Amino acid sequence: MAASKTVVLGVTGSIAAYKAADLASLLVKRGHDVFVVMTEAAQRFITPLSLQTMSRNPVMTDLFAEQSGWCPGHIELADRANLLLIAPASAATLARLACGLAEDALTCIALATRAPLVIAPAMNGKMWSHPATVHNTETLRARGAIFIGPDEGLLACGYEGAGRLWPVEDIAAKADEMMLRGRIDGA
């Protein structure tokens, strides 16, 4: 197991958002300090309270929420992160990240952090294979983002194909692997 690191877990508007609770729990059990940042759409699939309970830390849902101290909360998390892990990542979030838009807490953190970015997509297979999503994925990879998944299989929409979130155990193991290999130096 890797030494304790700070993982900022971004959760976006995908039906797979409910799996983020298990992922947060696994990361905590592996000894990491987990801070969840949810998009507005993610909150339609899972509650912040569930993720707060599993991560054992407050969940950021609003870029403009009151913070104690002078430093904006999203900048504090961006500076603190050893890894920014977005799981699940929706097509809309991939587009915002590729365009450099900073319109919510998660995308602001993504622009402000110097931590490695790991993205675990989850969406309808037609959305995943759409030229715009392919382009956005290529853009993010060219900037150094690491993609894990998506898996193939039966999707929540009833279609078969690529688009399933990687198993949470594999996502947690990949995060640990990156930390053990020294890809994340803790600086």
**Catalytic center residues:** 157
Instruction: Name the residue type at position 134.
Output: V
Q: At what angle do helices 73-80 and 105-112 cross, to 10 degrees?
A: 50
Question: If you count them, how many residues does the chain have?
Answer: 187
Question: In sequence order, what are the residues at sequence separation of 6 or more whose Cβ sits closer than 8 angstroms to the Cβ of residue 128?
Answer: 91, 121, 150, 161, 162, 163
